[in-house]
Each structure stands twice: as structure tokens, then as C-alpha cells.
Amino acid sequence: MVFKSISALVLALPVVLGAAIDRRATVPQECAFLLPIVDDLMNNLFENECGDAAHGALRLTFHDAIGIDPTLGGGGADGSIITFNSTELTFAANDGDFVFLAGSLSLATCEGAPQVKLAIGRPQPIAASPDLLVPEPFDDVNKILARMAAGGNFSPQEVIALLSSHSVAGADTIIPGLAGIPFDSTPSVFDTQVFVEVQLRGTTFTGPGGNQGEVMTAIQGTTRLQSDHNFARSTPTDCFWQSFANNQQQMTEQFAAAFFKMSLLGQNENDLIDCSSVIPPAPTFTGNAFFPPSLTHNDVEQACATAAFPNLPTLPGPPEVVPPIPQADGS
Ligand code: HEM
């Protein structure tokens, strides 16, 4: 069995390298070495799916990049988060670049995600980031906004744009004993459902409830972070949150800009090389946002004082129970 899978891999290799060589013509010479790595990550780490491995790679970008503070230190988007014993992470690309290469590529697996810019050439990280710089889901809105401003000079609007990533995400640690509990009903599509569904009145828990950082959700099988819930219901973020509901273009454009800004934390863009062309486009999303079965505009907890929540169709059928996101091996 082991022999069979190794020989399958060896036989497939010329195809993978061939595809990479074909694309060499379209990427700058300094970026061409990334192409076989791109194919390897897409095929073998992500298995071309917007699943658990892709979600994890996307989240890693945040945890690496936000590890920077004007007084406490930390190198920002420097790759310092990488644990060097992991097999998938020992590629030729510099560790400093690997986190954003993988995170940017993970988006290419998710229908609807923007094609984000990728700059490489980061020096090797110097030290681990200090602790306590990554926001927690039980931190209040002001605390998270202050941390995001101090660490990344992010505005409240940019923070909400970055949280579009929770459209392709779930919780592995918030609910003891449960993994891959999605934040919305479409965790493998980079759509605006998370902005719709978090605005709905919470009525239920997946699991027993009562966990730190978790509040009631509107849809069985999903979970809701207390921080996302509060962002949707507090000034100065509630209207930004609502503005993305059913506005795919606005969400993806603002996410892409904020994500690239995040990739440059602690780096000087002028010292980096633009290798954006190695990132393939994600499959296009053509749908519209919706209310999940049995839920309507009446279930919206309107928070933004200056604009009404959009009217959306309700999907037909009985109330949904969203299945967990299948977990990647060894993730
Ligand atoms: C700003 C405040 C943020 C807070 C408080 C927060 C909190 C969380 C928490 C608690 C989880 C679940 C962890 C677990 O139980 O496994 C999570 C998952 C995730 N977060 Fe965030 N997050 C924030 C911002 C971001 C940003 C900026 C990004 C990326 C650009 C991001 C991307 C993700 C992704 C992709 C996952 C899913 C990971 C997976 O399914 O394996 N988050 N986040």
C-alpha cells in the first residue's frame, strides 16, 4: 500500500513539474522556483480543497503577522511562527516567506476568494514573537481594535475586512471534544454568509455551550465567536460588518487589500519581490447571500443605525444542521 502510493506520487511528479514549467513563461524569473512548491501545496497539502488544511494555513498568516508591537517587539509577518519539525513546512522557500505563500495559496482553493498579492524575500526571522499579542475571542471589541491598531495600524474597517476569513473557518478548540465546527453554513466558500449569519439572533449551541469565547449561534452545527458577535453589534464596526452582507465584491476587494497589508507587517515592501503571479485565481463565486432555511429578516438583530440589513431569500427546506469540516490528517 505504501509502495503503491509512493509509486503513484513518483509517476505523477513529471505531470506536476510539467504544469509548473508551462507557467514559467508567465512569472518573473526570481519567482519561478516557487511554482513546483505551489503545485505541491495545492495538490498534496490542500488537496485542491478549501478544507481544514487550507483554513489552517490561512489562520497561520494572522498568528504570524500580528505578533508585533511597538513596545513589546516581535517581527510581524516574518515566519517566526513556523515549527521547524513539521514535514510540510520544510520546503525550499525561506521560512519567512512560507507562511504567506501557503496562506495566499490557501485562498486559491476557496470559491469566491480574491487573488491576493504575494511579496517574497523576507529575511529569516530573528526571534519568537512575545506572547499575548494575538486577540482572543473573549476580548472585547475595543481591546481587539486597539491591538490591531498597535500591531498592524489596521482601522476598524480593515479589521472587519480581515474577518472575512471567518467565512472559510471553524473552531477546533473552542468546544471541548468537537473539531471543525464551522462559523457559517458554507465553510468552503469565501462568500458573505458569515456576515449574514452572525447578524441573526443566536438561539442554540452546537455542543453543551458555556465555553469561553463562544456565544449562541442561529444554525445548528455552527458556532459563533463572541468577538464576531460583538463586532456585528457594536460601534464603530457594526455598519462595516453589515456592509459586507451580500456584497461579495466589496468584501473581497477590502479583504485582499488588508491581507496584503498584513503580509508586510515588520517588512519593507521595497526590499521584497512581487511574486503575485504564482498565485492562481480561485474558482469564481456566482451565488447570492441567503437566509438559511426557516430564518428570515425577522431574525436579524439590526445593529447598524444608518442602513437597513439587506432583504435576502430564505433557502427552502427544514432547519439545517451543518456538518463539521472534515479534519486533515495530522493538522
Ligand atoms: C481579529 C480578531 C480575531 C479573533 C478574535 C479570531 C479568533 C479565532 C478563533 C477563536 C478561531 C477558532 C480557533 C479554534 O478553535 O480552532 C479562529 C479561526 C480562524 N481564524 Fe480567526 N480570529 C481573528 C482574526 C482572524 C484573521 C485576521 C484571520 C485571517 C486573515 C483569521 C483567520 C481564521 C481562520 C482561517 C480560522 C479557521 C481555522 C481552521 O478552521 O482551522 N482570523 N479565529
Between the CA of 136 and the centroid of ligand 1 the distance, in Å, is 9
Segment 155-164 shows an average pLDDT of 98
- 27 or 12: which leads in pLDDT: 27
Residue 215 in 3-state DSSP?
strand
The conformation of residue 166, written as its DSSP 8-state character, comes to G
Between the CA of 278 and the centroid of ligand 1 the distance, in Å, is 25
User: Is residue 331 annotated as involved in ligand binding?
Assistant: no
| pLDDT over 50 (residue 331) | no
Where residue 156 falls among pLDDT bands split at 50, 70, 90?
very high
pLDDT in tens, 87-146: 434 444 567 798 999 999 999 999 999 999 999 999 888 888 888 899 999 999 999 999
Question: Could you tell which of 107, 165, 215, 331 is best to mutate to test the pocket of ligand 1, judged by most ligand atoms within 8 Å of the CB?
Answer: 165
pLDDT in tens, 199-243: 999 999 999 999 999 999 999 999 999 999 999 999 999 999 999
**pLDDT score for 18:** 54
Between the CA of 8 and the centroid of ligand 1 the distance, in Å, is 35
| pLDDT over 80 (residue 296) | yes
User: Residues with Cβ within 6 A of ligand 1?
Assistant: 52, 55-56, 58-59, 61-62, 135-137, 144, 159, 162-163, 165-166, 168-174, 213, 225, 227
Between the CA of 168 and the centroid of ligand 1 the distance, in Å, is 10
Give dist(CA 163, CA 169) in Å, integer.
10
The conformation of residue 315, written as its DSSP 8-state character, comes to P
User: Is residue 186 annotated as involved in ligand binding?
Assistant: yes
Neighbouring-strand partners of residue 119: 274
* Closest C-alpha to ligand 1, atom 34: 59
8 A C-beta contact, residue 273 and residue 120: yes
Q: pTM for the whole thing?
A: 0.92
User: Is residue 238 annotated as involved in ligand binding?
Assistant: no
**pLDDT score for 21:** 54
Per the annotation, the verdict on 55 as an active-site residue is no
Give dist(CA 153, CA 112) in Å, integer.
27
**pLDDT score for 6:** 35
* Closest C-alpha to ligand 1, atom 3: 135
Per annotation, catalytic residue among 55, 63, 229, 297: 63
Mean pLDDT over all residues of the chain? 90
Cis peptide leading into residue 236 (ω within 30°): yes
Where residue 10 falls among pLDDT bands split at 50, 70, 90?
very low
User: Is residue 191 annotated as involved in ligand binding?
Assistant: yes
**pLDDT score for 127:** 82
Where residue 9 falls among pLDDT bands split at 50, 70, 90?
very low
Half-sphere CA count of 85, side-chain side, radius 13 A:
1
- Residues 136, 150, 96, 36, CA torsion sign: positive
Range in 62-66, 88-92, 103-107, 192-196 with the lowest mean pLDDT: 88-92
* Closest C-alpha to ligand 1, atom 13: 171
What is the length of the chain? Answer: 331
| pLDDT over 70 (residue 283) | yes
First-residue to last-residue Cα distance in the chain:
22
Neighbouring-strand partners of residue 314: 291
Dihedral (Cα; 130, 133, 136, 141), 10-degree rounding: 160
8 A C-beta contact, residue 96 and residue 79: yes
